[in-house]
Amino acid sequence: MQSVAAPAENPLIEGLERLPVHPTTLTIFGGTGDLAQRKLLPAIYNLAHEGALPERFNLIGVSRSDKPHEDFQAEATEWIERFSRRKVDPKVLAKLMENVRYIPGTFDDPGVFEALEETLDAFDRDAGIVFNRVFYLSTAPAYFPVIVKQLGERGLDHREGVDVRVVIEKPFGTNLQEALDLNRDVLKVLDESQVYRIDHYLGKETVQNMLAFRFANGLFEPIWNRNFIDYVEITAAEDLGIGSRAGYYDSSGALRDLVQNHMLQLLTLLCMEPPVHFSADQVRDEKVKVLHAIPAPTLEQVPDMAVRAQYQAGHAEGQEVPGYLSEKDVPADSITPSFAALRLEVDNWRWAGVPIYMRTGKRLARKVTEIAVTLKPVPHLAFVQDGSTTIQPNQLILTMQPNEGVSLSLAAKIPGTRMSIRPVKMEFLYGTAFMSESPEAYERLIMDAMRGDATLFTRDDEVEAQWRICDPIVRAWEQTPGPVAQYEAGSQGPEEAAGLLRGGHRWRAI
């Protein structure tokens, strides 16, 4: 008789099990905004498509423009059809839309919160149960404290017997003081355990895989320290320009947009000590310790450890593209960097003396997010006389996107009579190993917020520690109007970035 593997033993469906989630009403402030259109609503649809949403689920969009529920439902349907990673199943989508409502108004208007309370209560009354409430703040950052305050004043910040959580999008402040103020305002109303600060990089499968890679394999731990690692390089390069986002981007720039959040998250996951349990506070305790071990530069030290630059006209996606200063709505005298590179150190027992280089930029040669860990060279090479001058120290590359995976460069002998050696690669690719498409980061994060798991969200002390490192750099750059280095669109970035490197280290080609 043929045996059939029980579902739990089938490796192809591992990880796809449905976790029970309490019935939930999710409210999106900024429900018609760009993020809601492109990411949030499609993510919710994909969760519905998989059957991963709670069995009872309602969605409320809140935005400025006045329209009836039906118009919002029609728009949401259109956005989902356009941006969903899966082909839309009309039945699933229609079912999802049955419990979608819309509330128009401005976020400082108490009337909006009165209408919200009525809508939330009506869902509870009609279903005869009390839903958990998740409020997702996907608005301009200036409204974050305003909305939280209004929720508190209306008594929507808590509800007997169920959980109320608030998800806050980035940016969490534009400097340290703003982050401190925002935390203070938010925590006046809510308990930290109710607050879910989003960093979508933490929702990426390959970013989480770094934890599995480090803490579920015995192989790397013995070498994961200053005795074996020469330097670390973290790259988040993009080929796209700023598009139509000048309004946001020009007041933000590369450091605030990607370094303060996503790149420091990558750094902490790479450098943290193993947590005792994979639970929200234990993981975040370890991450915060890493951030506290990074000395914040003084204003005078900034030029030596940080480089900023703007892209000039060049080529991207096979065509000529304008420079940063010629992008729509960018002021001609803007000094906002579209590229930032840093040299940091984690001053603790494990990492002292290991430079951690980071770079990010728009309009670079291609889109790639990776961490390269370069080991120290071997102490003695016996092969030099045989012409093996190309021997490189081992490099471990963790690629977050594209071609997600891990690769290790090794030195190998070229077949033949001579002892010639060249680098080869040992590679693991996510796509081929698991034969399945990874969910979008927002799917995982929305689910976690509904389940009440804050492991992949940024805690109050964590966001403040991130800002403590970036704040002096932001200030130094703002106080020095120029010159801002330049790089050609589609290139490897500014030459000045090489000035950050020490001890013969090299940036990898983008």
Q: In angstroms, what is the minimal distance from the CB of 257 to ligand BG6?
A: 5
238 binds ligand BG6 (CB under 6 A): yes
Report DSSP state, residue 458. Answer: B
- Quick one: which of 31, 36, 37, 48 has its CA closest to 86? 48
Q: Which residue number, 168 or 293, has a Cβ lying nearer to ligand BG6? A: 168
Q: Which of residues 330-369 bind ligand BG6 (CB under 6 A)?
A: 369
Q: In angstroms, what is the minimal distance from the CB of 128 to ligand BG6?
A: 40
Confirm if 327 and 246 have CB atoms less than 8 A apart. Answer: yes
As given in the structure block, the two tokens for residue 103 are 């509330």
239 binds ligand BG6 (CB under 6 A): no
Q: How far is CA 165 from the centre of its chain?
A: 20
Q: Which residue number, 116 or 340, has a Cβ lying nearer to ligand BG6? A: 340
CB neighbourhood size of 425 (10 A): 11
**Residues counted in the chain:** 510
Cα three-residue angle 34-39-43, rounded to 5 degrees: 150
* CA atoms within a 13 Å half-sphere pointing along the CA-CB vector of 507: 23
Strand-pairing partners, residue 487, are: 311
Q: Which residue number, 248 or 383, has a Cβ lying nearer to ligand BG6? A: 248
Q: Which residue number, 194 or 206, has a Cβ lying nearer to ligand BG6? A: 206
Q: In angstroms, what is the minimal distance from the CB of 253 to ligand BG6?
A: 10
Which one of 257, 370, 443, 471 is in contact with ligand BG6 (CB under 6 A)? 257
Q: Which residue number, 238 or 370, has a Cβ lying nearer to ligand BG6? A: 238
Tell me if residue 261 falls in helix, strand or coil. helix
471 binds ligand BG6 (CB under 6 A): no
Q: Which residue number, 150 or 369, has a Cβ lying nearer to ligand BG6? A: 369
**What gap in Å lies between CA 385 and CA 158, rounded to an integer?**
74
Is residue 262 part of the annotated active site? The answer reads yes
- Quick one: which of 164, 92, 99, 168 has its CA closest to 131? 164
Report DSSP state, residue 363. Answer: S
What strands lie across the sheet with 229-237, from one edge to the other?
421-429, 405-413, 395-401, 368-375, 229-237, 355-361, 339-345, 306-312, 485-488
Q: In angstroms, what is the minimal distance from the CB of 409 to ligand BG6?
A: 24
Q: In angstroms, what is the minimal distance from the CB of 369 to ligand BG6?
A: 6
**What gap in Å lies between CA 499 and CA 304, rounded to an integer?**
8
Q: How far is CA 383 from the centre of its chain?
A: 44
DSSP characters over 96-126: HHHTEEEEES-TT-HHHHHHHHHHHHHHHHH
Q: In angstroms, what is the minimal distance from the CB of 52 to ligand BG6?
A: 21
Q: Which residue number, 100 or 474, has a Cβ lying nearer to ligand BG6? A: 474
CA distances from 384 to 230, 374, 375 (A): 21, 21, 19
- Residues 262, 277, 292, 505: which is the catalytic one? 262
Number of residues counted as binding ligand BG6 (CB under 6 A):
3
**What gap in Å lies between CA 138 and CA 148, rounded to an integer?**
12
Q: In angstroms, what is the minimal distance from the CB of 339 to ligand BG6?
A: 12
Peptide bond into 297 cis (omega under 30): no
Site string for ligand BG6, 21-50 (x = CB under 6 A): ------------------------------
Confirm if 334 and 366 have CB atoms less than 8 A apart. Answer: no
Residue nearest to ligand BG6 (CB): 257
Q: In angstroms, what is the minimal distance from the CB of 20 to ligand BG6?
A: 29
Strand-pairing partners, residue 423, are: 411
**What gap in Å lies between CA 452 and CA 163, rounded to an integer?**
8
Q: In angstroms, what is the minimal distance from the CB of 296 to ligand BG6?
A: 22
Q: Which residue number, 238 or 448, has a Cβ lying nearer to ligand BG6? A: 238
Q: Which residue number, 35 or 454, has a Cβ lying nearer to ligand BG6? A: 35
**What gap in Å lies between CA 297 and CA 315, rounded to an integer?**
35
**What gap in Å lies between CA 22 and CA 162, rounded to an integer?**
9
Q: Which residue number, 257 or 327, has a Cβ lying nearer to ligand BG6? A: 257
Confirm if 249 and 334 have CB atoms less than 8 A apart. Answer: no
**What gap in Å lies between CA 120 and CA 380, rounded to an integer?**
70
Query: 192 — alpha (psi -120 to 50), left (phi > 0) or beta?
Result: alpha
Q: In angstroms, what is the minimal distance from the CB of 476 to ligand BG6?
A: 22
Residue for token pair 């998740």: 134
Site string for ligand BG6, 365-404 (x = CB under 6 A): ----x-----------------------------------
| Residues near ligand BG6, by CB under 6 A | 238, 257, 369
Annotated catalytic sites, by residue? 262
